[in-house]
Structure 1
Amino acid sequence: MLTNWIILGVSLVYIGGLFAIASWGDRKSERHGSRIRAKPVIYALSLAVYCTSWTFYGSVGLASTSGYDFIPVYLGPILLFTAGYFVLRKIVRIGKAENITTIADFIAARFGKSQALAAVVTLFVVIGILPYIALQLKAVSTSFNVLISYPEIIMPLGIAGTALWADTALVVALLMAVFSIMFGTRNIDVTEHHQGMMLAIAFESIVKLVAFLAAGIFVTFFMFDGIGDLASRARATGYVAERFAVDIDASKWVTITLLSLTAIICLPRQFHVAVVENADERELRTAAWLFPTYLVAINIFVIPIALAGLLLFGGGGVDADTFVLTLPMLARQEALTLFVFIGGLSAATGMVIVATVALATMISNDVFMPLYLRYRHGGARVDVDIGTTLLSVRRVAMTAILLLAYAYYRVAGDGQALASIGLISFAGVAQFAPAIFGGIFWSSASRSGALAGILAGGMVWAYTMLLPTFAASAWFPETLLTAGPAGIGFLRPQALFGIDFNDTLTHGVFWSLSANIALLVILSLASRPSVLERGQARAFVQVMGAERTARPRALQGSLTIGDLEELAGRYLGAAVVRRAFAEYLAERELPPSVNDPVDAGALRFAERLLASAIGASSARLVIALSLERDNIDIESAMSLLDGASAAIQYNRELLQMTMENMRQGIAVFDEDLRLAWLNERFRDYLGLPEKYGRVGVPIEDIIRYSAEQGEYGPGDVETIVRDLLAQYRLRRPATYERRLDDGTVLEVRTSPMPAGGVAVSLMDLTDRVEAAAELELAKRELEQRVDERTRDLMNLNEQLRRASDAAQQANLGKTQFLAAASHDLLQPLNAARLFLSSLAERPIDPENAELVGRVDTSLRSVEDLISGLLDISKLDAGGVEPQVEDFNVGDLLRALGTEFMPFAEERDIDLRMVPSNRIVRSDRQQLRRILQNLLSNAIRYTPPGGRVLVGCRGAGERVRFEVLDTGPGIPQDMRDAVFREFQRLPNDEGNEQGLGLGLAIVERITRMLGHTVELRSRPGEGSIFAVGVPQGSATNIRRAAAARPVFRAGELADAIILCVDDNADVRDGMAALLSGWDCDVRTIASSSEWRRGLAGDTPDLIIADYHLAGDEKGPDVVTEICGVLERVIPTIVITADPSEGLREDASRRGHAVLGKPVKPAALRALMSRMLSQRATVRRTAS
């Protein structure tokens, strides 16, 4: 039994386990800076925080009401991570280069580090995400309230009558605030990778996926008999079929796909996970395939669960959003039910934790910090630890965010489906998409355009989408939606300017994004950006270039490196800042003195360091205030930072652009042989990690790394390093080729620099060297192959010539023999036959008549002998070409009976031919000859009074023809000999003997056709000859069937009528009735009998009972028959069911309907009319 305490206890244990996982991950990452090995997989799984309780519960609910409309929610992310991978990579690289902390920080940094823009984005994103967080509160509280009623399924009442203290959603909100604070406010530097929190989020992603799949598998395969069972039941249930039979709304699909594509970047939690928590671009490559795979996997059972819920819970009573939970409850599966609840809890808590961490960081950095700094800067210098203050602000912000989300839930969220709430938030954060995507690809996009676009788009979104949710909850009059504000119809929120879309979502997205993009473009083209804006635009748009550095100059003033360390330490901690500055000075080969004056580079470094804690815009303000205390006014300080950044950026871009556009890999080393410049191609050629591309790296380290990788071949690494360093110190021009382990051939050129130092260029010669080597090898191989092929060809030609001569001689001999036999032998016999016939017609005495008879018999024997020899010669010479076709053996057997019956009666032999309508595939004429020879032998060797039986039966995929006789039988030692030429058995009965060629001809024909011939015999009892022939297909002889005479209007005689009824008495009665009308009646009881019942014929009309045995229906049997025969057959459906639905089903199929009991007159009239129409159609077609 699931009690409240069990549910709460398991939930708290699970949350505690998540916290333990996060703590373990943080400890592991802190020890010597180690990272978790499976970080790319963890990164990809953490992206699945996209799948919130909307996915876990709401997708099923959306599918239950709107069919397939849930699919576009996941199409967008899949498209972005596959086709739009380069966009993601660019955004991630910008985030790392600029020390971005939030999406507001990203947008503000792109547009001149504008504090106003950052504050607007922050406030707007908080408003936009509140409905989404409210969605999670609703999902968790609803699922909890449903679960506590277990095993009963009781939907919780609305919140209207629920007291505040008794509302589960409020408890959930407070608990999630605690969890978010525990997980997300342990460090001040939000750009430090929270490996522990990401590990916990990844674990939650696995839990919710496994829970959803477990529920889907149980519902599909244990509550039902699989997908097919669900689908068939859904089709048979009207209201369920209607949900999935609606046409897809293309505009709505495009809108949702666009929203989901932007949401994967614009949602604060997704930006935090995808950009801020990214440690390496290789993680993004793993996510490019793993994250889309996850999205597909978690949606596999959405439709089956939705169908199951609709089928089992009917059209109402149970909220469709809870199907994934209530279906296991219905099956009394306590463990699975609790596991599903934990899965839903994982989906909600993961989203809430990351979202509140991101939102709280934005509030503290972009709203609180600017106000705090401007308020404090006029007073005494602040010496307190500001980092602690920031953490406190973030904790308060997290609590406030969740309470505001709860307030939205109380006001507007209770009556809406989960999916509708989520789409409102998607549309809200989509207002950042023009600024983000335009900002990284269009360098002319300006701060004023972005700010105006976001404000305009946000206001239109709030008016067209957020406001109607409050109106639906009665917080505003309903006339606001129907008549517009103050009765102004063209300002109706859901039909702005009188334009009504198919759905309100597309309407709101269209107008809000149109206003946003229009103002962004217009104001960007009309305004002139500042120096810093232009520099930041270049940094964002051209970020895909290589790492760039420049030597900054010192600034006037008394601000020192120590002052910057102290300033940054108050935000990040003294130890962290001291270590960061030490690394910065070491990289630039500057003395680690805290009293040295700062330069533009040090200011820039300090600004980026502060940005990791308080954001780009607030970091810029902190540095500017520090310069102001150094007797530089605030505006001059801002200008100084802008100028320094722009100058550094310009110098970097100019030099890097030149180097990156060269085909060679280039590196420049100073007089101390330390790296001064290099391009990306140089690193790619040598496979150098990123750290070896930093300015100041000694060339000795680069050589040693390559030697350790085996790029210089075998040998002592230090010896290789020492020898190469000696060569570089000579500062002499040199050119040589270097072959790497992977086969790459590089041309290395070293050139001394006039002011000291050396330039090294690398050119890839692999293609040239390989092409030359392959050309030489191909040349040698070609010559060798030409010689070999020439000899082989000459030998082959000689062999072919000899074989051709021999074949021609053999064919000529056979041709001559056949011609001679045909002409020289048959011609005299033909003449003798004519003379003998003439003699037989003249009056002669009895003695001479007997002589004429004997001559006739002898002449026929000679004719048979020569005919047999000619047949054998033709078969052996391959002169017979089989004409294989599919045909019915009935006509063949009847013809054989007609032919041999007089012969058998003359010899007093009982010849029986078993009729059959089987279809075989063979040469009709050659098969007839086989059976003629076998039947002739059987009659010839059977004594008077004996019997001969001919028939066929099925044998697997073949038809077995058998000829049985009661003759003397064949001894065992003669059974092979009888198939050879001129081998005959003694005929003790004195009957006429054959020539010994019949079975030889049978053996050759069966071999030619690929048939089989078998012999079984018992001496004194008789023999059985069997010929195996492949079965044929009735569909291949349909043209012959179609050639039957057509019916004249009103005639029933000879019409083939198929009766389908599971009642034997009805079948017999119908057969008796129709036979009296001269119809050819065939009867069957089910679909499994129609092939046997028709025996290869095609019915002219079908009379079928609607309800057959089991679940089978007569119209379905008719459909099967027509499909196999590939024709439409007139059909009369007979039924005792008077329902209109049955008649509509029959009419839709094109069938006529008669009710039971059937009146013969009505039946005959209907049959005549339908056969008349069919006859008319045939005559018209002909």
Structure 2
Amino acid sequence: MLPVWVVLASLLYAAILFAIAYVGDRNPLYTQRPWLRPTVYSLALAVYCSSWTFYGAVGSAVRYGIGYLPIYLGPMLMLLFGWRIIERLALVAQSQNTVSIADFMASRYGRSQRLAGMVALVAVIAAIPYLALQYKAVTLSLGILTGRDIQNTILGDPALYVAILMALFSILFGTRQVDATEHRPGLMLAVAFESLVKLIALTAVGVFALIWSKRNQLDVYGAMQQLIEQAPPVGFVGQTLLAFAAIICLPRQFHVAIVECGKVADIRRARWMFGSYLVIVSLMVLPIAAVGVQLFGGSGAVAPDTFVLALPLSQNQLTLALAVYIGGFSAATGMVIVTSVALSTLVSNDLVMPILLRRGWAQQAQGDMSRTVLWIRRMAILFISAWAYGYYLSSGSDTALSAYGLMAFAAVAQFAPGLIGGLYWQGASRRGVESGLVLGFGVWIYTLLLPTLTESGWFNSAWLYNGPWDIRWLSPYQLFGLTGLDPLSHGTFWSLLFNISAFLFVSFRKRPGLRDRLRAEPFLDPYAERRALPSKQSYGDLYVLDLLALAGRIVGEKKATWAFEKQAALLDQHLDVDLRANSGWIQFTELLLAAAVGAASARLVLTSALRGSGMEVTTIVAILDEAGQELRFNRDILLATLENLDQGVSVVDAEMCLVAWNQRYQQLLDYPPGMLYVGRPVADLIRFNAQRGKIQHRHPRDIEEAVRRRIAFMRAGTSHVFQRTLNNKQVIELRGRPLPGGGYVTSYSDVTEYKRVERELLEINENLEQRVAERTQEAERAQQSRTHFLTAVSHDVLQPINAARLFASALHDSTDTNEMRRLSERVDASLRAAEELLDGLLDISQLDAGALQPEITVFKAEEVVNDLLQQYAPLAKRRHLALRTYIRPLYVRSDQRLLRRVLQNFIANALRYTREGRIIVAGRVRGDAMEFQVWDSGQGIPPHHLQNIYNEFHRYDQSYDWGERGMGLGLSICQRISSLLNHPLQAISEVNKGSMFSIRVPLAPPPLPDPTTSAAVPAPSNALALDGLRVLCLDNDVEILMGMEALLSQWGIDVITATTIDDALSKMKQAPHVLLVDYHLHDRLNGIESLDALREHAKHLQGALLTADGSDELKQLAREKGYLVLTKPVKPASLRAFLAAQRRD
């Protein structure tokens, strides 16, 4: 026997609940108070926190660390991100008078009685283990509180009395009125009070745990951190998603959050109030679990699920322990009461009443039937309580509390696809929802319910792992070979996968018709204001009095009279029961009945009653179906709209028969009077048009084939757009599209004028394109002429410059006075500037004309940079500037010659505009590219000049001591090369600090070695003596020969000169060592041919081609012959290096 004080405490608390519910029903304590109503609503939502969350969450935290969080995290995510779903559900429920989740889904999908029954059956089966969980939790808490084993006999089991007590409470305060949509303020107030009690109790234990641990110097925060740092269980995400769906799919949560929602605006307040409740409860779990582990151990004699109660008892805190027991009792009873009320409505409205109504109970019963409906609900509560208690007795005692709750969550999650899909997807169909629900729930039974019953001893457990008939891939724990998931996640995954797949597949295959889509509008857009349709038409001998009497039999006479008077007041009328009933009164009666027995059963009641008044079934359906009225109303509007369109329109149904058209369609296709009528096969119209030549066919016998082909095209539902030219030269554009419910709509537009204008525009466009092509060709010819001109002129201009530079270099090397050296350097600088100007003009001309084609190769980045370093190191040394390079030994892909030209311009500018400091050439890896950078410490470029640096002849006007200025073409050339190679440029500069110019080149893997390539020979030093070297110089310009002779003589070279090829051949007997030949000799042979002729006399001779023509073709030809190309004006340093190399050879 239980101690008397425990029994008295339980009965006293139950009496308090009864008193609160009684007062709440008699006096509207909160419903009319806007500040209090959201608070009660939010606390009532906390019925979600059953004994599972009160006791079981601590046990989950001990076993899995943060694995206890999903049951709290899911609702928080729904309140944070999915609260609009709850708001839409509440709006629709209020507008459609839905009384349960089954009623809601049935109303969304055509008021399907079968779907409502399926949802009700699933909800009841899913709730039974969950209700058993509450009985188990109360029994467990009583055993811990009293410190004794609870008797196993039924009469000695406290769970039995809890079940009876809660069933009695549910009957008294949950089935007081037949209208299930009418709010139950007493019940809600009692549930809110219970939520407050369990919050206070759990918070008290959590605070006690923290205070006790501090007094006993226990590291509770370290223990909590260890719990948090545990890896989350495998099913963490899956459990979170289940909790996310459960907040709207659990029947009790749907009832509290949707059916009992007084004002939709309360949902916004409940977001943070209920959310705060969940946060507080989840935070209290950690200190209780941490202290419990330190006191009792994680798997000792005290079960982790009982730590909440065992903790105060272990410290002799009996008052706190009693408060905790009352809190757990509240958690269990609150859930049981609300679930019982919600399920009783489901059972009566969607399982029992349809059977009674189909068997003629409504006609046979006499008098008020509302009491019968209420007694059905009361019996349903007793039946459900007994079933749950039986499940509790038969289930194993070693199952964790969380196992029951999560299994119920997985079951009700099967409602989510149809419930949420019905709010957002117009294509969701009743058959799709039914198919998904059957498959999903079947898989849930196979993978979750049956294994749970098996582990409780109902069946042999061998099949759980080996599968039925030893087929392992049918094992409920490894279905289809899927492993690595815990049983809950495994079963949830497969059940929802089958559910969603069937829902989508069947919905796409069996799309809802137009009537179903219209009926779904209030669900898809609950925020829209909907107009009231005209309802003045009366039907037969049906009067308002008849409807009032029918409603009174179902909902009670007083309730029916009050509702009818209220409806009349809304219509600004006095209730006159002797008036003939119109469709508005009939639909109002259906809504009133739906609030009592559900939408589907209400339809059955009214259909039966109206048929008794002499109406035809088709008329009854038309009256009751609001979507049908809206369809007829919209049809009138549609026909009026069609007649005012400029396009012709025709509509055919799924049977390929004409159902709608306008006069413009008849005019465009010139149909005779009487040709068009509703139901005419469209094949007749196609055949008629083909016979008149409006459809192309080669032979009269091909007409039937043309008809068959077009009918097949329309049946296939393929959209099309094409134009047809009629015999009178009229052009008609046809646009056809399939209709969702079957059928085809086609529009016909007269585009004759449009086609005429189009032809004129095409002619104008063709002429314009021809003129543009002519102008483009002229521009290209002009560009080519400019390029050829510059190429020819550059040779003639560079010849004297070349000679002048040779003389200047010879003068510099021969004079001994500083003044003469300085003057020769100035002359050389001026000549170099003129040379750069001509080179720049030539390069720009070739780049603009597209004459330069890149030769992309793979080469080492350091090759280009080292070559430029050797070229500019002497100049940097003379100007006392440090020239440094930092290049990683990587390969790049580019045109080596053009890349060298870009870097050459960068370095030349840096040397030109830097007075002191250093110049750095670096190669930095940027992802899959190398960025060649040239840094200087010059004066920098102001920002307003920086954006113009790539313009031709643009220079930042500064004077320097080096006696040279740029021509303003270098960076312009760099930009053109960058565009040609697709290598991005970048320029950064800061005044008085310096500048950085860069080009980004793609990296490349190293090329494979060529086994035929001989080892590279080190370049000879330019310092080798050239004394005694004989050089034959062939050039038709005497000035060039004189300058070359003056320069080479200074180096100790014996110079042999010739102006023609014949003269050079005659001097070959002097045995020259090296040949220097100009390309443009204006002789019978050019430079390459002359080198070939001279080498016929001495095969070993090395030759160099001197030319002002820098074309790629010439360089390629010389390279193939083995000749070096020295571009005029020839740089003395390059020439000396070449000759020194030949001397060494």
TM (norm. structure 2) is: 0.54
Name the residue aligned to 1:485.
468
Supply the AA of the counterpart residue of 2:26: R
Alignment of 1:692-711 (within 5 A): none
Q: Is the 8 A contact 1:28 1:34 kept in 2?
A: no
Cα distance change of structure 1 residues 433 and 562 upon mapping to structure 2, 3 Å threshold:
same
SS at match of 1:190: coil
Name the residue aligned to 2:48.
50
Supply the AA of the counterpart residue of 2:114: A
Q: Distance in 1 between matches of 2:36 and 2:217?
A: 35
Name the residue aligned to 1:371.
355
Q: Is the 8 A contact 2:224 2:286 kept in 1?
A: no
Alignment of 1:1048-1067 (within 5 A): none
Supply the AA of the counterpart residue of 1:117: L
**Among residues 503, 510, 530, which one is paired with 1:520 in the alignment?**
503
Supply the AA of the counterpart residue of 2:101: I
Cα distance change of structure 1 residues 655 and 258 upon mapping to structure 2, 3 Å threshold:
farther
Q: Is the 8 A contact 1:141 1:169 kept in 2?
A: yes
Q: CA deviation at 1:530?
A: 5.3
Provide Cα deviations, 1:363-421, integer angstroms capped at 9, x if missing partner.
011111111112125x8553222111111111111111111111211222522111111
Name the residue aligned to 1:342.
326
Name the residue aligned to 1:317.
301
Supply the AA of the counterpart residue of 1:173: A
Q: Is the 8 A contact 1:28 1:35 kept in 2?
A: no
Q: Distance in 2 between matches of 1:54 and 1:253?
A: 17
**Among residues 298, 318, 332, which one is paired with 2:316 in the alignment?**
332
SS at match of 1:416: coil
Cα distance change of structure 1 residues 577 and 184 upon mapping to structure 2, 3 Å threshold:
same
Name the residue aligned to 2:137.
139
Q: CA deviation at 1:553?
A: 3.8
Name the residue aligned to 2:119.
121
Q: Is the 8 A contact 2:622 2:628 kept in 1?
A: no
Provide Cα deviations, 1:789-846, integer angstroms capped at 9, x if missing partner.
xxxxxxxxxxxxxxxxxxxxxxxxxxxxxxxxxxxxxxxxxxxxxxxxxxxxxxxxxx
Cα distance change of structure 1 residues 653 and 421 upon mapping to structure 2, 3 Å threshold:
farther
Q: Is the 8 A contact 1:324 1:340 kept in 2?
A: yes
Q: Does 1:207 pair with 2:197?
A: yes
Cα distance change of structure 1 residues 413 and 102 upon mapping to structure 2, 3 Å threshold:
farther
Name the residue aligned to 1:63.
61
Name the residue aligned to 1:104.
102
Q: CA deviation at 1:647?
A: 2.0
Q: Distance in 2 between matches of 1:255 and 1:651?
A: 47
Q: CA deviation at 1:287?
A: 0.3
Q: Is the 8 A contact 1:77 1:260 kept in 2?
A: yes
Provide Cα deviations, 1:502-532, integer angstroms capped at 9, x if missing partner.
2111111111011111111111111243565
Q: CA deviation at 1:591?
A: 5.1
Name the residue aligned to 2:594.
611
Q: Distance in 2 between matches of 1:515 and 1:615?
A: 29
Name the residue aligned to 1:72.
70
**Among residues 506, 519, 535, which one is paired with 2:518 in the alignment?**
535
Q: Distance in 1 between matches of 2:635 and 2:397?
A: 54
Cα distance change of structure 1 residues 372 and 492 upon mapping to structure 2, 3 Å threshold:
same
Q: Distance in 2 between matches of 1:322 and 1:652?
A: 63
Supply the AA of the counterpart residue of 2:119: V
Name the residue aligned to 2:561.
578
Provide Cα deviations, 1:159-188, integer angstroms capped at 9, x if missing partner.
9xx233333322222222122212211121
Q: Is the 8 A contact 1:213 1:301 kept in 2?
A: yes
Supply the AA of the counterpart residue of 2:111: K
Name the residue aligned to 1:397.
380
Q: Is the 8 A contact 1:364 1:393 kept in 2?
A: yes
Name the residue aligned to 1:1153.
none
**Among residues 357, 370, 380, which one is paired with 2:341 in the alignment?**
357
Supply the AA of the counterpart residue of 1:364: S
**Among residues 171, 175, 178, which one is paired with 1:185 in the alignment?**
175
**Among residues 588, 592, 596, which one is paired with 2:579 in the alignment?**
596
Alignment of 1:1030-1045 (within 5 A): none
Alignment of 1:1056-1135 (within 5 A): none
Supply the AA of the counterpart residue of 1:371: I
Q: Is the 8 A contact 1:94 1:543 kept in 2?
A: yes
Q: CA deviation at 1:225?
A: 4.2
Q: Distance in 2 between matches of 1:431 and 1:172?
A: 30
Q: Is the 8 A contact 1:569 1:575 kept in 2?
A: yes
Cα distance change of structure 1 residues 171 and 107 upon mapping to structure 2, 3 Å threshold:
same
SS at match of 1:166: coil
Name the residue aligned to 1:148.
146
Gap regions ≥5 residues in structure 1? 236-240, 657-1182
Supply the AA of the counterpart residue of 1:114: S
Cα distance change of structure 1 residues 195 and 35 upon mapping to structure 2, 3 Å threshold:
farther
Q: Is the 8 A contact 2:515 2:631 kept in 1?
A: no
Alignment of 1:776-925 (within 5 A): none
Q: Is the 8 A contact 1:102 1:272 kept in 2?
A: yes
Name the residue aligned to 2:629.
647
Name the residue aligned to 2:427.
444
Q: Distance in 2 between matches of 1:431 and 1:635?
A: 35
Supply the AA of the counterpart residue of 2:485: N
Cα distance change of structure 1 residues 376 and 530 upon mapping to structure 2, 3 Å threshold:
farther
Alignment of 1:993-1012 (within 5 A): none
**Among residues 39, 42, 55, which one is paired with 2:37 in the alignment?**
39
Q: Distance in 2 between matches of 1:187 and 1:30?
A: 19
SS at match of 2:267: helix
SS at match of 2:186: helix
**Among residues 81, 88, 91, which one is paired with 2:86 in the alignment?**
88
Q: Distance in 2 between matches of 1:230 and 1:504?
A: 33
Q: Is the 8 A contact 1:413 1:421 kept in 2?
A: no
Q: CA deviation at 1:69?
A: 0.7
Q: CA deviation at 1:252?
A: 1.7
SS at match of 1:556: strand
Provide Cα deviations, 1:460-508, integer angstroms capped at 9, x if missing partner.
0111011110111121111111100111111000110011132111111
SS at match of 1:598: strand
Q: Distance in 2 between matches of 1:233 and 1:84?
A: 34
Q: Distance in 1 between matches of 2:57 and 2:542?
A: 58
Q: Distance in 2 between matches of 1:189 and 1:550?
A: 26
SS at match of 2:542: coil
Q: Is the 8 A contact 2:623 2:629 kept in 1?
A: no
SS at match of 1:558: strand
Cα distance change of structure 1 residues 232 and 245 upon mapping to structure 2, 3 Å threshold:
closer
Q: Is the 8 A contact 2:98 2:104 kept in 1?
A: yes
Cα distance change of structure 1 residues 464 and 61 upon mapping to structure 2, 3 Å threshold:
same
Q: Does 1:164 pair with 2:163?
A: no
Q: Is the 8 A contact 1:188 1:390 kept in 2?
A: yes
Q: Distance in 2 between matches of 1:306 and 1:37?
A: 36
Name the residue aligned to 1:5.
4
Cα distance change of structure 1 residues 582 and 232 upon mapping to structure 2, 3 Å threshold:
closer
Q: Does 1:423 pair with 2:403?
A: no
Cα distance change of structure 1 residues 43 and 233 upon mapping to structure 2, 3 Å threshold:
closer
Q: Is the 8 A contact 1:220 1:226 kept in 2?
A: no
Q: Is the 8 A contact 2:427 2:511 kept in 1?
A: no
Q: Does 1:551 pair with 2:534?
A: yes
**Among residues 157, 160, 166, which one is paired with 1:176 in the alignment?**
166
Q: Is the 8 A contact 1:130 1:404 kept in 2?
A: yes
TM (norm. structure 1) is: 0.52
Supply the AA of the counterpart residue of 2:360: R
Q: Does 1:461 pair with 2:451?
A: no
Provide Cα deviations, 1:1117-1150, integer angstroms capped at 9, x if missing partner.
xxxxxxxxxxxxxxxxxxxxxxxxxxxxxxxxxx
Name the residue aligned to 1:683.
none
Q: CA deviation at 1:579?
A: 2.3
Gap regions ≥5 residues in structure 2? 639-1145
SS at match of 1:464: helix
Supply the AA of the counterpart residue of 2:418: A
Q: Distance in 2 between matches of 1:649 and 1:577?
A: 30
